Structure 1
Amino acid sequence: MKFLKTTGEYLEIQNFDITSDQTNLFENSEEKLTLIWFTENDNYLTIDGRRYTFMANEIVFLTEFHQIENIRLNKGKILRFNRPFYCILHHETDVGCKGILFFGASSLPKINLTNTDGETLKSLWQVFEHEMKSSDEHQLEMLQMLLKRLLILCTRIMKRQTDLSTIEEDKMTIVKEFNFLVEQHFREKKSVAEYAELLHKSPKTLSNVFKLLGQKKPLQFIQERVLLEARRQIIYTEKSISEIAYELGYEDLQAFSRFFKKTEGSSPSEYRALHTKKVS
Protein backbone atom coordinates (compact mmCIF):
# COMPACT_ATOMS: atom_id res chain seq x y z
CA MET A 1 0.00 0.00 0.00
CA LYS A 2 1.28 3.44 -0.92
CA PHE A 3 0.37 6.97 0.14
CA LEU A 4 1.45 9.65 -2.31
CA LYS A 5 0.42 13.31 -2.40
CA THR A 6 0.87 15.69 -5.32
CA THR A 7 2.98 17.82 -2.94
CA GLY A 8 5.53 14.99 -2.69
CA GLU A 9 4.71 13.20 0.57
CA TYR A 10 5.35 9.46 0.21
CA LEU A 11 4.71 6.56 2.58
CA GLU A 12 4.67 2.87 1.71
CA ILE A 13 3.95 -0.20 3.81
CA GLN A 14 3.87 -3.76 2.59
CA ASN A 15 4.10 -7.34 3.76
CA PHE A 16 6.35 -9.86 2.03
CA ASP A 17 7.00 -13.58 2.18
CA ILE A 18 9.11 -16.17 0.38
CA THR A 19 6.66 -16.24 -2.54
CA SER A 20 6.76 -12.46 -3.12
CA ASP A 21 8.63 -10.93 -6.04
CA GLN A 22 11.63 -9.57 -4.12
CA THR A 23 13.62 -8.26 -7.09
CA ASN A 24 12.09 -4.78 -6.87
CA LEU A 25 11.73 -4.44 -3.11
CA PHE A 26 14.48 -1.84 -2.81
CA GLU A 27 14.41 -0.17 -6.21
CA ASN A 28 12.21 2.66 -4.97
CA SER A 29 14.34 3.60 -1.96
CA GLU A 30 16.07 6.72 -3.29
CA GLU A 31 15.84 9.64 -0.86
CA LYS A 32 13.78 7.49 1.51
CA LEU A 33 14.24 5.88 4.91
CA THR A 34 13.30 2.22 5.30
CA LEU A 35 12.35 -0.03 8.20
CA ILE A 36 12.30 -3.81 7.69
CA TRP A 37 10.61 -5.96 10.32
CA PHE A 38 11.38 -9.68 9.96
CA THR A 39 8.66 -11.99 11.27
CA GLU A 40 10.28 -15.35 10.46
CA ASN A 41 13.84 -16.66 10.73
CA ASP A 42 16.56 -16.94 8.09
CA ASN A 43 16.33 -13.77 6.05
CA TYR A 44 19.43 -12.84 4.05
CA LEU A 45 20.54 -9.47 2.74
CA THR A 46 23.88 -8.26 1.44
CA ILE A 47 24.19 -4.65 2.58
CA ASP A 48 27.14 -2.57 1.41
CA GLY A 49 28.97 -5.70 0.33
CA ARG A 50 28.49 -7.62 3.58
CA ARG A 51 26.05 -10.45 4.14
CA TYR A 52 23.66 -10.29 7.07
CA THR A 53 21.26 -12.88 8.46
CA PHE A 54 18.14 -11.57 10.17
CA MET A 55 15.92 -13.61 12.44
CA ALA A 56 12.30 -13.30 13.53
CA ASN A 57 11.43 -10.19 15.56
CA GLU A 58 14.44 -8.21 14.38
CA ILE A 59 14.04 -4.78 12.80
CA VAL A 60 16.74 -3.08 10.72
CA PHE A 61 16.78 0.60 9.76
CA LEU A 62 18.19 1.70 6.40
CA THR A 63 18.80 4.98 4.61
CA GLU A 64 18.96 5.66 0.89
CA PHE A 65 22.75 5.33 1.12
CA HIS A 66 22.70 1.61 1.90
CA GLN A 67 23.36 -0.60 -1.12
CA ILE A 68 21.26 -3.77 -0.97
CA GLU A 69 21.62 -6.94 -3.05
CA ASN A 70 21.42 -10.75 -2.86
CA ILE A 71 17.99 -10.68 -1.30
CA ARG A 72 16.32 -13.77 0.16
CA LEU A 73 13.59 -12.93 2.60
CA ASN A 74 11.23 -15.38 4.26
CA LYS A 75 8.58 -13.16 5.81
CA GLY A 76 8.23 -9.68 7.15
CA LYS A 77 7.07 -6.11 6.74
CA ILE A 78 8.54 -3.01 5.13
CA LEU A 79 7.81 0.62 5.88
CA ARG A 80 9.37 3.34 3.72
CA PHE A 81 8.90 7.11 3.79
CA ASN A 82 10.50 10.24 2.37
CA ARG A 83 11.51 13.54 3.93
CA PRO A 84 8.51 15.52 2.68
CA PHE A 85 6.28 13.02 4.50
CA TYR A 86 8.26 13.15 7.74
CA CYS A 87 11.71 14.70 8.17
CA ILE A 88 13.42 13.19 11.20
CA LEU A 89 15.88 16.09 11.26
CA HIS A 90 13.16 18.72 11.59
CA HIS A 91 11.30 16.58 14.13
CA GLU A 92 14.35 15.58 16.15
CA THR A 93 12.93 16.99 19.38
CA ASP A 94 9.77 14.93 18.83
CA VAL A 95 11.20 11.48 18.08
CA GLY A 96 14.95 11.63 18.89
CA CYS A 97 15.94 8.95 16.36
CA LYS A 98 18.61 10.92 14.47
CA GLY A 99 21.98 9.27 15.01
CA ILE A 100 20.29 6.26 16.62
CA LEU A 101 17.93 4.61 14.14
CA PHE A 102 19.08 6.55 11.09
CA PHE A 103 22.33 8.31 10.15
CA GLY A 104 24.17 6.54 12.94
CA ALA A 105 27.63 6.52 11.35
CA SER A 106 29.06 3.14 10.36
CA SER A 107 26.98 0.64 12.29
CA LEU A 108 23.86 -1.06 10.95
CA PRO A 109 21.04 -0.08 13.35
CA LYS A 110 19.05 -3.13 14.46
CA ILE A 111 16.73 -3.94 17.34
CA ASN A 112 15.32 -7.19 18.74
CA LEU A 113 11.68 -7.21 19.79
CA THR A 114 10.48 -8.78 23.02
CA ASN A 115 7.03 -10.35 23.03
CA THR A 116 5.58 -7.16 24.52
CA ASP A 117 7.36 -4.97 21.97
CA GLY A 118 6.18 -7.20 19.16
CA GLU A 119 2.54 -7.09 20.26
CA THR A 120 2.66 -3.30 20.59
CA LEU A 121 4.15 -2.83 17.13
CA LYS A 122 1.80 -5.40 15.61
CA SER A 123 -1.19 -3.44 16.87
CA LEU A 124 0.30 -0.21 15.57
CA TRP A 125 0.96 -1.79 12.17
CA GLN A 126 -2.68 -2.85 11.94
CA VAL A 127 -3.77 0.73 12.57
CA PHE A 128 -1.32 1.82 9.85
CA GLU A 129 -2.89 -0.58 7.37
CA HIS A 130 -6.39 0.59 8.27
CA GLU A 131 -5.46 4.26 7.93
CA MET A 132 -3.76 3.68 4.56
CA LYS A 133 -7.22 2.79 3.22
CA SER A 134 -8.70 6.05 4.43
CA SER A 135 -9.10 8.98 2.05
CA ASP A 136 -10.31 11.95 4.07
CA GLU A 137 -8.62 15.27 4.75
CA HIS A 138 -7.04 13.98 7.99
CA GLN A 139 -5.23 10.99 6.45
CA LEU A 140 -1.81 12.67 6.12
CA GLU A 141 -1.87 13.94 9.68
CA MET A 142 -2.98 10.55 11.02
CA LEU A 143 -0.26 8.67 9.14
CA GLN A 144 2.41 11.11 10.29
CA MET A 145 1.23 10.68 13.88
CA LEU A 146 1.40 6.89 13.56
CA LEU A 147 4.90 7.04 12.06
CA LYS A 148 6.03 9.36 14.84
CA ARG A 149 4.75 6.87 17.42
CA LEU A 150 6.49 3.98 15.65
CA LEU A 151 9.83 5.82 15.55
CA ILE A 152 9.58 6.78 19.22
CA LEU A 153 8.88 3.17 20.22
CA CYS A 154 11.80 1.86 18.16
CA THR A 155 14.13 4.53 19.54
CA ARG A 156 13.17 3.56 23.08
CA ILE A 157 13.88 -0.09 22.30
CA MET A 158 17.26 0.77 20.75
CA LYS A 159 18.23 2.80 23.82
CA ARG A 160 17.08 0.02 26.12
CA GLN A 161 19.07 -2.63 24.25
CA THR A 162 22.28 -0.60 24.28
CA ASP A 163 24.09 1.40 26.90
CA LEU A 164 22.47 4.55 25.51
CA SER A 165 19.66 4.26 28.06
CA THR A 166 22.11 4.76 30.93
CA ILE A 167 23.57 7.98 29.58
CA GLU A 168 22.39 11.34 30.86
CA GLU A 169 20.35 13.34 28.37
CA ASP A 170 23.04 15.96 27.72
CA LYS A 171 25.60 13.24 27.01
CA MET A 172 23.08 11.39 24.85
CA THR A 173 22.71 14.55 22.76
CA ILE A 174 26.47 14.69 22.23
CA VAL A 175 26.55 11.07 20.99
CA LYS A 176 23.67 11.63 18.56
CA GLU A 177 25.06 14.91 17.24
CA PHE A 178 28.52 13.39 16.84
CA ASN A 179 27.11 10.49 14.81
CA PHE A 180 25.15 12.84 12.59
CA LEU A 181 28.11 15.17 12.06
CA VAL A 182 30.27 12.22 11.05
CA GLU A 183 27.62 11.30 8.48
CA GLN A 184 27.82 14.83 7.06
CA HIS A 185 31.57 15.46 7.17
CA PHE A 186 33.49 12.15 7.13
CA ARG A 187 34.95 12.90 3.68
CA GLU A 188 36.82 16.00 4.81
CA LYS A 189 37.12 15.64 8.59
CA LYS A 190 39.04 12.67 9.95
CA SER A 191 40.04 13.67 13.48
CA VAL A 192 38.13 13.71 16.74
CA ALA A 193 39.35 17.25 17.37
CA GLU A 194 37.54 18.55 14.29
CA TYR A 195 34.22 17.14 15.47
CA ALA A 196 34.85 18.29 19.02
CA GLU A 197 35.23 21.82 17.67
CA LEU A 198 31.91 21.56 15.80
CA LEU A 199 30.26 20.40 19.02
CA HIS A 200 32.01 23.08 21.09
CA LYS A 201 33.51 20.36 23.28
CA SER A 202 37.03 19.19 23.98
CA PRO A 203 38.31 15.94 22.42
CA LYS A 204 38.71 14.56 25.94
CA THR A 205 35.05 15.26 26.70
CA LEU A 206 34.03 13.34 23.59
CA SER A 207 36.25 10.41 24.50
CA ASN A 208 34.87 10.31 28.05
CA VAL A 209 31.26 10.32 26.82
CA PHE A 210 31.91 7.45 24.42
CA LYS A 211 33.76 5.56 27.12
CA LEU A 212 30.47 5.43 29.01
CA LEU A 213 29.13 3.34 26.15
CA GLY A 214 31.80 0.74 26.75
CA GLN A 215 32.13 0.41 22.99
CA LYS A 216 33.98 2.22 20.22
CA LYS A 217 36.09 5.30 20.60
CA PRO A 218 35.06 8.39 18.58
CA LEU A 219 37.96 7.86 16.18
CA GLN A 220 36.71 4.34 15.41
CA PHE A 221 33.30 5.73 14.44
CA ILE A 222 34.96 8.15 12.03
CA GLN A 223 37.27 5.55 10.51
CA GLU A 224 34.52 2.95 10.12
CA ARG A 225 32.28 5.48 8.35
CA VAL A 226 35.10 6.24 5.90
CA LEU A 227 35.67 2.51 5.33
CA LEU A 228 31.96 1.94 4.77
CA GLU A 229 31.90 4.55 2.02
CA ALA A 230 35.12 3.19 0.56
CA ARG A 231 33.60 -0.30 0.30
CA ARG A 232 30.47 1.10 -1.31
CA GLN A 233 32.45 3.04 -3.90
CA ILE A 234 34.84 0.18 -4.65
CA ILE A 235 32.07 -2.40 -5.08
CA TYR A 236 29.26 -0.42 -6.66
CA THR A 237 31.02 2.12 -8.90
CA GLU A 238 33.53 1.98 -11.71
CA LYS A 239 35.56 4.86 -10.31
CA SER A 240 39.29 4.34 -10.13
CA ILE A 241 40.85 3.75 -6.72
CA SER A 242 42.58 7.12 -7.08
CA GLU A 243 39.24 8.85 -7.65
CA ILE A 244 37.70 7.14 -4.64
CA ALA A 245 40.64 8.05 -2.43
CA TYR A 246 40.41 11.70 -3.51
CA GLU A 247 36.65 11.85 -2.91
CA LEU A 248 37.23 10.49 0.58
CA GLY A 249 39.73 13.21 1.37
CA TYR A 250 42.99 11.38 0.65
CA GLU A 251 45.40 13.18 -1.65
CA ASP A 252 47.93 10.38 -1.11
CA LEU A 253 46.73 7.15 -2.71
CA GLN A 254 49.24 5.08 -0.73
CA ALA A 255 47.94 6.47 2.55
CA PHE A 256 44.39 5.51 1.58
CA SER A 257 45.49 2.02 0.51
CA ARG A 258 47.34 1.45 3.80
CA PHE A 259 44.31 2.66 5.77
CA PHE A 260 41.97 0.37 3.84
CA LYS A 261 44.21 -2.72 3.97
CA LYS A 262 44.83 -2.37 7.71
CA THR A 263 41.14 -3.04 8.39
CA GLU A 264 39.96 -5.07 5.41
CA GLY A 265 43.06 -7.24 5.05
CA SER A 266 43.38 -6.53 1.33
CA SER A 267 44.21 -3.55 -0.84
CA PRO A 268 41.34 -1.61 -2.50
CA SER A 269 42.19 -3.21 -5.85
CA GLU A 270 42.27 -6.71 -4.35
CA TYR A 271 38.99 -6.04 -2.55
CA ARG A 272 37.34 -4.96 -5.82
CA ALA A 273 38.65 -8.02 -7.68
CA LEU A 274 37.44 -10.34 -4.92
CA HIS A 275 33.95 -8.88 -4.91
CA THR A 276 33.73 -8.96 -8.72
CA LYS A 277 34.66 -12.66 -8.65
CA LYS A 278 31.94 -13.39 -6.11
CA VAL A 279 29.14 -11.80 -8.10
CA SER A 280 30.24 -13.07 -11.53
Structure 2
Amino acid sequence: MEYYFKTRLKGSIVLTPSFHQNTMLQKDKTLYKFIWVQKGKLALEVDHIPLVLEENEILPLTPLHHISMRKIEGNYLTLLFNSNFYCIYGHDNEVSCNGFLFNGTSNVMRLQLSGQQSVLLHEITDKFAGEYNIKDNLQEEMLRILLKRFIITCTRIAREKFSINTEKEKSFDMIRQFYVLVDNHFREKKRVQDYADMLHRSPKTLTNLFSAYQLPSPLRIIHQRLEAEAKRLLLYTSKNAKEIADILGFEDLSAFSRFFKNMTGESISTYRKRENGRN
Protein backbone atom coordinates (compact mmCIF):
# COMPACT_ATOMS: atom_id res chain seq x y z
CA MET A 1 0.00 0.00 0.00
CA GLU A 2 1.17 3.54 -0.80
CA TYR A 3 1.12 6.20 1.93
CA TYR A 4 1.14 9.85 0.84
CA PHE A 5 1.00 12.88 3.15
CA LYS A 6 1.01 16.50 2.04
CA THR A 7 1.16 19.62 4.22
CA ARG A 8 -0.49 22.98 3.69
CA LEU A 9 2.93 24.43 2.81
CA LYS A 10 3.48 21.94 -0.06
CA GLY A 11 5.57 19.58 1.99
CA SER A 12 5.22 15.92 1.07
CA ILE A 13 6.37 12.53 2.31
CA VAL A 14 5.59 9.22 0.61
CA LEU A 15 6.15 5.57 1.47
CA THR A 16 5.59 3.27 -1.49
CA PRO A 17 6.47 -0.25 -2.67
CA SER A 18 5.69 0.66 -6.28
CA PHE A 19 7.62 3.79 -7.19
CA HIS A 20 8.17 2.33 -10.68
CA GLN A 21 4.42 2.44 -11.34
CA ASN A 22 3.79 5.97 -10.08
CA THR A 23 4.53 8.41 -12.92
CA MET A 24 3.58 11.41 -10.76
CA LEU A 25 6.32 10.61 -8.23
CA GLN A 26 8.83 9.82 -10.97
CA LYS A 27 8.27 13.24 -12.55
CA ASP A 28 8.56 15.13 -9.26
CA LYS A 29 12.05 16.69 -9.28
CA THR A 30 11.88 17.94 -5.68
CA LEU A 31 12.05 14.59 -3.89
CA TYR A 32 14.85 13.05 -1.87
CA LYS A 33 14.67 9.25 -1.96
CA PHE A 34 15.69 6.16 -0.06
CA ILE A 35 15.32 3.01 -2.18
CA TRP A 36 15.45 -0.10 0.00
CA VAL A 37 15.48 -3.61 -1.49
CA GLN A 38 13.78 -5.81 1.08
CA LYS A 39 13.75 -9.06 -0.88
CA GLY A 40 15.47 -10.22 -4.07
CA LYS A 41 17.20 -7.57 -6.16
CA LEU A 42 16.50 -4.46 -8.19
CA ALA A 43 18.21 -3.38 -11.42
CA LEU A 44 18.06 0.34 -12.09
CA GLU A 45 19.98 3.21 -13.65
CA VAL A 46 20.98 6.37 -11.81
CA ASP A 47 22.03 9.13 -14.20
CA HIS A 48 22.32 6.43 -16.90
CA ILE A 49 24.73 4.42 -14.71
CA PRO A 50 23.54 0.78 -14.29
CA LEU A 51 23.27 -0.51 -10.72
CA VAL A 52 21.97 -3.72 -9.21
CA LEU A 53 20.80 -3.41 -5.60
CA GLU A 54 20.81 -6.63 -3.62
CA GLU A 55 18.59 -7.63 -0.72
CA ASN A 56 18.90 -5.31 2.29
CA GLU A 57 20.71 -2.59 0.37
CA ILE A 58 19.58 1.03 0.60
CA LEU A 59 20.34 3.74 -1.93
CA PRO A 60 19.94 7.41 -0.87
CA LEU A 61 19.35 9.83 -3.78
CA THR A 62 18.91 13.59 -4.17
CA PRO A 63 16.37 15.36 -6.39
CA LEU A 64 19.20 15.83 -8.90
CA HIS A 65 19.52 12.14 -9.67
CA HIS A 66 17.58 10.68 -12.59
CA ILE A 67 16.25 7.17 -11.95
CA SER A 68 15.11 4.48 -14.34
CA MET A 69 13.88 1.13 -13.02
CA ARG A 70 14.99 -1.69 -15.30
CA LYS A 71 14.18 -5.03 -13.64
CA ILE A 72 12.48 -5.86 -10.35
CA GLU A 73 13.05 -9.32 -8.90
CA GLY A 74 11.55 -9.17 -5.43
CA ASN A 75 10.23 -6.37 -3.23
CA TYR A 76 11.51 -2.90 -2.52
CA LEU A 77 10.32 0.13 -0.57
CA THR A 78 10.86 3.78 -1.43
CA LEU A 79 10.72 6.59 1.12
CA LEU A 80 10.46 10.02 -0.49
CA PHE A 81 10.25 13.53 0.92
CA ASN A 82 10.84 17.11 -0.18
CA SER A 83 12.55 20.04 1.50
CA ASN A 84 9.23 21.66 2.36
CA PHE A 85 8.48 18.67 4.56
CA TYR A 86 11.97 18.31 6.02
CA CYS A 87 14.98 20.40 4.99
CA ILE A 88 18.20 18.46 5.46
CA TYR A 89 20.19 21.70 5.02
CA GLY A 90 18.31 23.58 7.72
CA HIS A 91 18.36 20.61 10.10
CA ASP A 92 21.87 19.34 9.46
CA ASN A 93 22.69 19.57 13.17
CA GLU A 94 19.93 17.00 13.78
CA VAL A 95 20.70 14.34 11.17
CA SER A 96 24.23 15.10 9.86
CA CYS A 97 23.51 13.64 6.42
CA ASN A 98 24.02 16.67 4.17
CA GLY A 99 27.04 16.10 1.92
CA PHE A 100 27.29 12.54 3.22
CA LEU A 101 24.20 10.51 2.36
CA PHE A 102 23.09 13.20 -0.06
CA ASN A 103 25.33 15.00 -2.56
CA GLY A 104 25.13 15.84 -6.23
CA THR A 105 27.69 13.47 -7.73
CA SER A 106 26.63 10.37 -9.63
CA ASN A 107 28.88 8.23 -7.40
CA VAL A 108 26.05 7.39 -5.02
CA MET A 109 26.46 5.72 -1.63
CA ARG A 110 25.12 2.20 -1.18
CA LEU A 111 24.33 0.99 2.33
CA GLN A 112 24.36 -2.72 3.15
CA LEU A 113 22.19 -3.52 6.16
CA SER A 114 22.93 -6.11 8.79
CA GLY A 115 20.04 -8.20 10.09
CA GLN A 116 19.73 -6.00 13.17
CA GLN A 117 19.80 -2.79 11.12
CA SER A 118 17.12 -4.18 8.82
CA VAL A 119 14.88 -4.96 11.81
CA LEU A 120 15.36 -1.43 13.14
CA LEU A 121 14.38 0.20 9.85
CA HIS A 122 11.42 -2.16 9.48
CA GLU A 123 10.20 -0.96 12.88
CA ILE A 124 10.38 2.65 11.72
CA THR A 125 8.56 2.04 8.45
CA ASP A 126 5.89 -0.02 10.24
CA LYS A 127 5.30 2.96 12.51
CA PHE A 128 5.10 5.17 9.41
CA ALA A 129 2.31 3.00 8.05
CA GLY A 130 0.47 3.06 11.36
CA GLU A 131 0.81 6.82 11.75
CA TYR A 132 -0.71 7.50 8.33
CA ASN A 133 -4.00 6.12 9.64
CA ILE A 134 -4.13 8.53 12.60
CA LYS A 135 -5.82 11.71 11.41
CA ASP A 136 -5.16 14.44 13.96
CA ASN A 137 -3.16 17.66 14.31
CA LEU A 138 -0.11 15.73 15.57
CA GLN A 139 0.21 13.50 12.53
CA GLU A 140 2.53 15.78 10.53
CA GLU A 141 5.04 16.16 13.34
CA MET A 142 4.99 12.43 14.13
CA LEU A 143 5.76 11.63 10.48
CA ARG A 144 8.59 14.15 10.56
CA ILE A 145 10.02 12.55 13.70
CA LEU A 146 9.89 9.10 12.07
CA LEU A 147 11.60 10.46 8.95
CA LYS A 148 14.36 11.92 11.15
CA ARG A 149 14.78 8.53 12.84
CA PHE A 150 15.09 6.82 9.45
CA ILE A 151 17.67 9.35 8.22
CA ILE A 152 19.70 9.21 11.45
CA THR A 153 19.71 5.41 11.36
CA CYS A 154 20.99 5.45 7.77
CA THR A 155 23.60 8.05 8.72
CA ARG A 156 24.84 5.79 11.51
CA ILE A 157 25.00 2.83 9.15
CA ALA A 158 27.04 4.91 6.71
CA ARG A 159 29.34 6.07 9.50
CA GLU A 160 30.02 2.45 10.41
CA LYS A 161 30.98 1.87 6.80
CA PHE A 162 33.70 4.52 7.18
CA SER A 163 34.58 3.51 10.77
CA ILE A 164 33.75 6.97 12.08
CA ASN A 165 33.95 7.12 15.86
CA THR A 166 33.74 10.05 18.29
CA GLU A 167 37.38 10.99 17.71
CA LYS A 168 36.89 11.13 13.94
CA GLU A 169 33.61 13.08 13.89
CA LYS A 170 35.20 16.50 13.64
CA SER A 171 37.46 15.56 10.74
CA PHE A 172 34.68 13.78 8.88
CA ASP A 173 32.40 16.80 9.31
CA MET A 174 34.96 18.74 7.30
CA ILE A 175 34.60 16.20 4.50
CA ARG A 176 30.82 16.67 4.60
CA GLN A 177 31.28 20.44 4.49
CA PHE A 178 33.56 20.09 1.48
CA TYR A 179 30.91 18.11 -0.44
CA VAL A 180 28.27 20.71 0.43
CA LEU A 181 30.49 23.57 -0.70
CA VAL A 182 31.27 21.77 -3.97
CA ASP A 183 27.55 21.24 -4.60
CA ASN A 184 26.95 24.95 -4.07
CA HIS A 185 29.94 26.43 -5.91
CA PHE A 186 31.24 23.93 -8.50
CA ARG A 187 30.18 26.14 -11.42
CA GLU A 188 32.37 29.07 -10.42
CA LYS A 189 35.03 27.45 -8.21
CA LYS A 190 37.07 24.65 -9.72
CA ARG A 191 40.28 24.70 -7.66
CA VAL A 192 40.91 22.89 -4.38
CA GLN A 193 42.46 26.12 -3.10
CA ASP A 194 39.06 27.86 -3.38
CA TYR A 195 37.43 25.35 -1.03
CA ALA A 196 40.45 25.14 1.29
CA ASP A 197 40.16 28.89 1.80
CA MET A 198 36.47 28.60 2.70
CA LEU A 199 37.26 25.81 5.18
CA HIS A 200 40.31 27.64 6.57
CA ARG A 201 42.57 24.72 5.77
CA SER A 202 45.39 24.13 3.32
CA PRO A 203 44.86 22.08 0.13
CA LYS A 204 47.40 19.56 1.43
CA THR A 205 45.45 19.11 4.67
CA LEU A 206 42.27 18.39 2.70
CA THR A 207 44.05 15.96 0.39
CA ASN A 208 45.52 14.05 3.34
CA LEU A 209 42.13 13.97 5.08
CA PHE A 210 40.34 12.49 2.07
CA SER A 211 43.15 9.99 1.58
CA ALA A 212 42.82 8.84 5.21
CA TYR A 213 39.20 7.88 4.52
CA GLN A 214 40.12 6.27 1.18
CA LEU A 215 37.94 8.77 -0.67
CA PRO A 216 38.70 10.36 -4.05
CA SER A 217 40.97 13.40 -3.89
CA PRO A 218 39.33 16.84 -3.38
CA LEU A 219 40.15 17.77 -6.99
CA ARG A 220 38.62 14.53 -8.23
CA ILE A 221 35.43 15.25 -6.29
CA ILE A 222 35.15 18.71 -7.87
CA HIS A 223 35.64 17.17 -11.30
CA GLN A 224 33.14 14.37 -10.62
CA ARG A 225 30.52 16.95 -9.64
CA LEU A 226 31.15 18.87 -12.87
CA GLU A 227 31.04 15.66 -14.88
CA ALA A 228 27.72 14.61 -13.30
CA GLU A 229 26.12 17.97 -14.05
CA ALA A 230 27.49 18.00 -17.59
CA LYS A 231 26.03 14.56 -18.29
CA ARG A 232 22.64 15.51 -16.83
CA LEU A 233 22.48 18.61 -19.03
CA LEU A 234 23.53 16.61 -22.09
CA LEU A 235 21.07 13.78 -21.52
CA TYR A 236 18.05 15.46 -19.98
CA THR A 237 17.96 18.87 -21.68
CA SER A 238 18.11 20.10 -25.27
CA LYS A 239 20.93 22.58 -24.55
CA ASN A 240 23.88 22.47 -26.91
CA ALA A 241 27.48 21.99 -25.80
CA LYS A 242 28.28 25.72 -25.94
CA GLU A 243 25.33 26.55 -23.68
CA ILE A 244 26.35 23.83 -21.22
CA ALA A 245 29.93 25.09 -21.18
CA ASP A 246 28.62 28.54 -20.21
CA ILE A 247 26.33 27.14 -17.50
CA LEU A 248 29.19 25.17 -15.95
CA GLY A 249 31.54 28.15 -15.96
CA PHE A 250 34.10 27.00 -18.52
CA GLU A 251 36.04 29.68 -20.40
CA ASP A 252 34.94 28.35 -23.76
CA LEU A 253 33.66 25.27 -25.54
CA SER A 254 37.13 23.88 -26.18
CA ALA A 255 37.96 23.92 -22.44
CA PHE A 256 34.72 22.08 -21.70
CA SER A 257 35.39 19.57 -24.50
CA ARG A 258 38.88 18.83 -23.15
CA PHE A 259 37.55 18.38 -19.63
CA PHE A 260 34.76 16.05 -20.78
CA LYS A 261 37.13 13.95 -22.90
CA ASN A 262 39.59 13.63 -19.99
CA MET A 263 36.83 12.53 -17.60
CA THR A 264 34.91 10.14 -19.84
CA GLY A 265 37.32 9.10 -22.57
CA GLU A 266 34.96 10.18 -25.35
CA SER A 267 33.76 13.35 -27.02
CA ILE A 268 30.64 15.25 -25.99
CA SER A 269 28.81 14.41 -29.22
CA THR A 270 29.74 10.72 -29.08
CA TYR A 271 28.56 10.42 -25.48
CA ARG A 272 25.26 12.18 -26.12
CA LYS A 273 24.51 10.15 -29.25
CA ARG A 274 25.38 6.83 -27.63
CA GLU A 275 23.44 7.38 -24.40
CA ASN A 276 20.38 8.87 -26.09
CA GLY A 277 20.36 5.92 -28.48
CA ARG A 278 19.91 3.54 -25.52
CA ASN A 279 16.55 5.04 -24.53
Counterpart selection for 2:14 from 12, 30, 50: 12
Query: CA contact under 8 A between 2:56 and 2:112: conserved in structure 1?
Result: yes
| Cα distance change of structure 1 residues 123 and 171 upon mapping to structure 2, 3 Å threshold | same
Which region of structure 1 is more displaced relative to structure 2, 140-149 or 164-173? Answer: 164-173
SS of residue in 1 equivalent to 2:17: strand
Distance 1:36 1:99 in 2: 18
Q: What does residue 235 of structure 1 align with?
A: 235
Q: What does residue 267 of structure 1 align with?
A: 267
Q: What is the Cα deviation at residue 277 of structure 1?
A: 2.0
Summarize deviations over 1:143-186 as a string: whole Å, max 9, x none: 11111111110000011112545862221111010001111111
Q: What is the Cα deviation at residue 86 of structure 1?
A: 1.0
| Cα distance change of structure 1 residues 106 and 200 upon mapping to structure 2, 3 Å threshold | farther
Could you tell me which amino acid in structure 1 is paired with residue 7 of structure 2? Answer: K
Q: What does residue 121 of structure 2 align with?
A: 121
Q: What is the Cα deviation at residue 103 of structure 1?
A: 1.9
Q: Which runs of 4+ in 1 moved over 4 A?
A: 163-167
Query: CA contact under 8 A between 1:187 and 1:226: conserved in structure 2?
Result: yes
Distance 1:50 1:108 in 2: 10
Q: What is the Cα deviation at residue 211 of structure 1?
A: 1.7
Could you tell me which amino acid in structure 2 is paired with residue 242 of structure 1? Answer: K
Q: What does residue 42 of structure 1 align with?
A: 41
Query: CA contact under 8 A between 1:191 and 1:219: conserved in structure 2?
Result: yes
Which region of structure 1 is more displaced relative to structure 2, 109-118 or 203-212? Answer: 203-212
Distance 1:230 1:84 in 2: 27
Q: What does residue 172 of structure 1 align with?
A: 172
SS of residue in 2 equivalent to 1:73: strand
Could you tell me which amino acid in structure 2 is paired with residue 108 of structure 1? Answer: V
Query: CA contact under 8 A between 1:178 and 1:195: conserved in structure 2?
Result: yes
Gaps in structure 1 of 5+ consecutive residues: none
Q: What does residue 248 of structure 2 align with?
A: 248
Query: CA contact under 8 A between 2:64 and 2:104: conserved in structure 1?
Result: no
SS of residue in 1 equivalent to 2:23: coil
Query: CA contact under 8 A between 2:39 and 2:76: conserved in structure 1?
Result: yes
Q: What does residue 66 of structure 2 align with?
A: 67
Distance 1:3 1:22 in 2: 18
Q: What is the Cα deviation at residue 69 of structure 1?
A: 2.4
Could you tell me which amino acid in structure 2 is paired with residue 266 of structure 1? Answer: E
Q: What does residue 53 of structure 1 align with?
A: 52
Q: What is the Cα deviation at residue 21 of structure 1?
A: 5.8
Which region of structure 1 is more displaced relative to structure 2, 69-78 or 252-261? Answer: 69-78
Distance 2:175 2:163 in 1: 12
Distance 2:116 2:142 in 1: 24
Q: What is the Cα deviation at residue 267 of structure 1?
A: 0.3
Query: CA contact under 8 A between 1:29 and 1:80: conserved in structure 2?
Result: no
Alignment of 1:183-202 (within 5 A): 183-202=183-202
* Identity %, equivalent residues: 36
TM-score (norm 1): 0.93
Q: What is the Cα deviation at residue 27 of structure 1?
A: 2.2
Q: Does 1:2 align with 2:4?
A: yes
Distance 2:151 2:22 in 1: 27
Q: What does residue 101 of structure 2 align with?
A: 101
Q: What is the Cα deviation at residue 28 of structure 1?
A: 4.5
TM-score (norm 2): 0.93
Distance 1:88 1:128 in 2: 19
C-alpha RMSD of the superposition? 1.8
Distance 1:174 1:214 in 2: 15
Distance 1:239 1:72 in 2: 30
Could you tell me which amino acid in structure 1 is paired with residue 61 of structure 2? Answer: L
Could you tell me which amino acid in structure 2 is paired with residue 66 of structure 1? Answer: H
Distance 2:170 2:67 in 1: 35
